[in-house]
Chain A
Amino acid sequence: QKEVEQDPGPLSVPEGAIVSLNCTYSNSAFQYFMWYRQYSRKGPELLMYTYSSGNKEDGRFTAQVDKSSKYISLFIRDSQPSDSATYLCAMSASRNTPLVFGKGTRLSVIA
């Protein structure tokens, strides 16, 4: 079992839909949880960063962490075609231990 599991998709939704992206993990030491967006042939771009459990909202994006279930989610409201990208979850036990990435979920938002 990999440390971080992420459904690779692809996921296709109509414009305006609510998108839910998820990752599960096995290492209970993980404390830092991140979501990156990666456009085709570009580097990953940090979207959301959460420490420990709880929710964090930034505009149309909401990140949730449930450490008891070892499950993290990213919600995108009112999805736009410009949200079409691969979304990578990443996590680490501390600020200085290597990030462990999921495989990424490829999202297409259809106009």
Chain B
Amino acid sequence: EAGVVQSPRYKIIEKKQPVAFWCNPISGHNTLYWYRQNLGQGPELLIRYENEEAVDDSQLPKDRFSAERLKGVDSTLKIQPAELGDSAVYLCASSLVQGNTEAFFGQGTRLTVV
């Protein structure tokens, strides 16, 4: 069974440029999460989807970050414009049922803003 797939694996952009990350969850998983992991820190939740509905986006910096999950499957996370402080690993996770106790993580996208 394929795991959570994220692309790209690495991205280097200049500040003020836009960037987008893509996530394909495990087939059949209705719940999808985006996390951000800064260097030397644990992941922090940005947004959680139940199917195509964003049910928890309280930690998403909405002035520059946006996310969508069309048709309740794949998801994209966008930053526009990127800032130096956005450099981090962006992790996508999915779970079959509601609840984060059974979430599976992808390998992440490492973003460097220069």
What's the Cα separation between A4 and B101 when bound, in Å? 17
Whether B99 lies near A95 (C-beta < 8 A) is yes
For A67, list chain B residues within 8 Å (CB): none
- Give a binary string over B39-74; 1 marks a CB under 8 Å from any A CB, 0 the rest: 011111100100000001001000000000000000
Does any Cβ of A come within 8 Å of B91's Cβ?
yes
Whether A104 lies near B56 (C-beta < 8 A) is no
Whether A43 lies near B100 (C-beta < 8 A) is no
Whether B105 lies near A43 (C-beta < 8 A) is yes
For A104, list chain B residues within 8 Å (CB): 40-42
Whether A46 lies near B104 (C-beta < 8 A) is yes
A43-B105, A43-B108, A96-B100 known; A101-B43 Cβ under 8 A: yes
Whether A96 lies near B40 (C-beta < 8 A) is no
Whether A103 lies near B41 (C-beta < 8 A) is yes
Does any Cβ of A come within 8 Å of B103's Cβ?
yes
Whether B105 lies near A96 (C-beta < 8 A) is no
Interface residues in A, total, Cβ within 8 A: 24
What's the Cα separation between A93 and B102 when bound, in Å? 15
What's the Cα separation between A6 and B41 when bound, in Å? 10
What's the Cα separation between A45 and B3 when bound, in Å? 11
- Shortest distance from the beta carbon of B59 to any chain A beta carbon, whole Å: 7
Whether A95 lies near B100 (C-beta < 8 A) is yes
Question: Which of B40, B100, B110 contacts A8 (CB under 8 A)?
Answer: B40
For A49, list chain B residues within 8 Å (CB): 101
- Give a binary string over A30-46; 1 marks a CB under 8 Å from any B CB, 0 the rest: 00101000000111111
- Shortest distance from the beta carbon of B54 to any chain A beta carbon, whole Å: 13
What's the Cα separation between A8 and B40 when bound, in Å? 8
- Give a binary string over A1-31; 1 marks a CB under 8 Å from any B CB, 0 the rest: 0001010100000000000000000000000
Does any Cβ of B come within 8 Å of A90's Cβ?
yes
> Which residues of B are interface residues toward A (Cβ below 8 A)?
4, 40-45, 48, 56, 59, 91, 93, 98-108, 110
Closest 4 CB pairs of A and B: A101-B42, A95-B99, A43-B105, A98-B45
